[in-house]
Amino acid sequence: MEMTRYDNLSRADQFQGLPAPALEKAVAEDASFISLPQPAEISTPPIGLRSAIELRRSIRKYSVDPLTLQELAYLLWCTQGIVQQHEPYATFRNVPSAGGRHAFETYLLVNRVSGLDPGIYRYLAFSHRMMPVEIGPGAADKVMGACLGQAMVKDSAVAFIWSCVIYRMAWRYSERAYRLVHLDAGHVCQNLYLAAEQINCGACAIGAFDDELMARLLGINGVDEFVIYCATVGRKM
Ligand SMILES: Cc1cc2nc3c(=O)[nH]c(=O)nc-3n(C[C@H](O)[C@H](O)[C@H](O)COP(=O)(O)O)c2cc1C
């Protein structure tokens, strides 16, 4: 906290004229993609905001029923969906972010989503698509292990794993970025909780995970990009 006080900050790269980093991680040209239902086509049960807020609880036990691809697309849209692009400086999304910098990438452990093979995927917010990262049933055990053995990870229909590409925020805010990304993460997960409530699912935030194992699992170096927060989702029993 001391080193991220305004008195102790270095001059940010943006104000030294350095170019802005990409607002989404690059994707291999030969990657395969999974199109997601467009937000406008997704119908959701009506539920008042007040009910969603008051009914929300952290839920760790789920029914075995899968989520539909529409429901997953809705959760992705609510947590990271892009509403306006102001490249290269900012995007406006369904969640707020300091300076509109949105330093996160969303990885998913898919256990039970209709039409998707179990495995790890990444959400591409700019094109509202997903791409496979590692497909195979072994992924659930690995992610559960990295979440210190929390069974809800394997029992969930899907687990969200948010990573942070810190330079995206630090380019504008230097060391203060380390505070800001943790504040941003809270907004993302709260939207997940509320959107899950709307589609009769439960969610549970996860802050207890092994940073190094998580990074290794996702193939990231854990420094320039690190896992910041996770959450499980599944249909209520
Ligand atoms: C930052 C954060 C980290 C959390 N990490 C975990 C976790 O690793 N495992 C877990 O079972 N619950 C976790 N939770 C859920 C809390 O235990 C839960 O929010 C708390 O018990 C209050 O219950 P409620 O969410 O139903 O109001 C976390 C919640 C937050 C906000």
pLDDT single digits (tens) 11-42? 999 999 999 999 999 998 889 999 999 999 99
* 136 or 93, greater pLDDT: 93
Average pLDDT over the chain, rounded to an integer: 97
Phi/psi-derived region of residue 232, left when phi > 0, alpha when psi is between -120 and 50, beta in every other case: beta
Percent above pLDDT 70 for the chain: 100
- Position 136 scores a pLDDT of 87
Distance CA 208, CA 147 (A): 6
Q: Whose CA is nearest to atom 28 of ligand 1?
A: 205
pLDDT at 88: 87
Question: Whose Cα sits closest to atom 29 in ligand 1?
Answer: 205
Mean of pLDDT values over 207-219: 98
Q: Give the residue numbers spanning the domain of 45.
A: 2-157+164-201+213-235
Tell whether 207 is covered by a domain.
Answer: no
Q: Which of 55, 197, 206 to mutate to test the pocket of ligand 1 (most atoms within 8 A of CB)?
A: 206
204 lines ligand 1 (CB under 6 A): yes
Q: What angle do CA 186, 20, 230 make, to 5 degrees?
A: 25
Q: How far apart, in whole angstroms, are the C-alpha atoms of residue 227 and residue 220?
A: 9
**CATH code where residue 57 lies:** 3.40.109.10
pLDDT tens digits along 175-207: 999 999 999 999 999 999 999 999 999 999 999
The reply to whether ligand 1 has any atom less than 6 angstroms from the CB of 61 is no
Rg of the chain, C-alpha, whole Å: 17
Q: What pLDDT is recorded for position 29?
A: 84
For ligand 1, the distance from its centroid to the CA atom of residue 205, given in whole angstroms, is: 5
Q: What is the pLDDT of residues 49-75, one digit of tens each?
A: 999 999 999 999 999 999 999 999 999
Name the region of 136 (left: φ>0; alpha: ψ -120 to 50; beta: rest).
Answer: left
Q: Whose CA is nearest to atom 30 of ligand 1?
A: 205
Q: Is residue 206 a part of any domain in this protein?
A: no
Q: Is the model's pLDDT at 87 over the cut of 90?
A: no
pLDDT in tens, 117-166: 999 999 999 999 999 999 988 999 999 999 999 999 999 999 999 999 99
The answer to whether residue 53 is domain-embedded is: yes
User: Based on the structure, what is the number of domains in the chain?
Assistant: 1
pTM of the predicted protein model: 0.98
DSSP 236: -
Q: Is 59 in the pocket of ligand 1 (CB under 6 A)?
A: no
pLDDT at 137: 83
Candidates 204, 230, 232: which one to mutate for ligand 1, based on the most atoms within 8 Å of Cβ?
204
CA nearest neighbour of 110 among 75, 61, 78, 60: 75
Ligand 1 centroid vs 81 CA: distance in angstroms?
A: 24
Average pLDDT over residues 78-86: 97
pLDDT of the residue at 159: 98
CB 31 less than 6 A from any atom of ligand 1: no
Tokens at residue 81, please?
A: 């969906």
